[in-house]
Amino acid sequence: MNLAIFDPFQRNRLLGLVVCAFAWCATGMAHASELADKLQRADYALLMRHTLAPGTGDPAGYRLDDCASQRNLSDEGRQQAVRTGQWLRQQGVSRAQVLTSPWCRCKDTALRLGFGDALLEPALASFFDEPQRAAEFTRRLQQRLAQASANKGDKAVVLVTHHVNILAYVGENVGSGDMVLVQFDAQGQLLTAKRYPSP
């Protein structure tokens, strides 16, 4: 671009806009790589609530071996899961070890992220119907985080679970499809948490 065709005021304004654009891109790239960089480390993992499944809890008499008896993802929830997987790859997360609750809405979310098969993990199961078991499930999650960190290699660890599990571990309510980057110690106990809203 020939800046000589602009008067000094226009030229300075244009240069200012270009500088701002570069600064914005640099900031965005730094932010984008922060998530991927931390997920390379053994003491970080990404907790994710399953994507949109309208309603609360599950119908009476639901069974884990019968998806039709459970509360499931809506069309929007399925699209949201695909979009989240795309967003993660845009952040630089190219490989992931995905663990999922046995509930169908979590398994569907995990599959649609696009990182291959997900591993069923009982420690991520919902205790919505048994809130008195929150401490027990949190201990199980801590143990699983500690195990996963020891065997992750260069893959990010992504755990797809439920609102109650994330609330019990992190102490924060999250929306459908929201993610929380957690840092934990050798026993899986929470050190830091950073929320990423569903894209």
pLDDT tens-digit readout, 110-121: 999 999 999 999
Percent of the chain with pLDDT over 70: 84
Quote the CA–CA distance of 98 and 100 in Å, as a whole number: 7
Q: Tokens 């102490």 — which residue?
A: 171
- What's the pLDDT score for residue 151? 82
Class of domain 40-196: alpha beta
- What's the pLDDT score for residue 150? 84
Q: Tokens 């030229």 — which residue?
A: 11
**What's the one-letter identity of residue 168?**
A
Closest among 127, 149, 145, 147 to 136, alpha carbons compared = 127
Q: Model pTM?
A: 0.83
Residue 12 has pLDDT above 60, yes or no: no
Quote the CA–CA distance of 164 and 141 in Å, as a whole number: 12
pLDDT tens-digit readout, 136-174: 999 999 999 999 888 888 899 999 999 999 999 999 999
SS (H, E, C) 35-92: HHHHHCCCCEEEEEECCCCCCCCCCCCCECCEHHHCCCCCHHHHHHHHHHHHHHHHCC
Residue 39 has pLDDT above 90, yes or no: yes
Lowest mean pLDDT among 31-35, 98-102, 160-164: 31-35
Mean pLDDT of all residues in the chain?
Answer: 88
Q: Hey, where are the domains in the chain?
A: 1-37, 40-196
- What's the pLDDT score for residue 196? 97
Closest among 156, 143, 151, 159 to 49, alpha carbons compared = 159
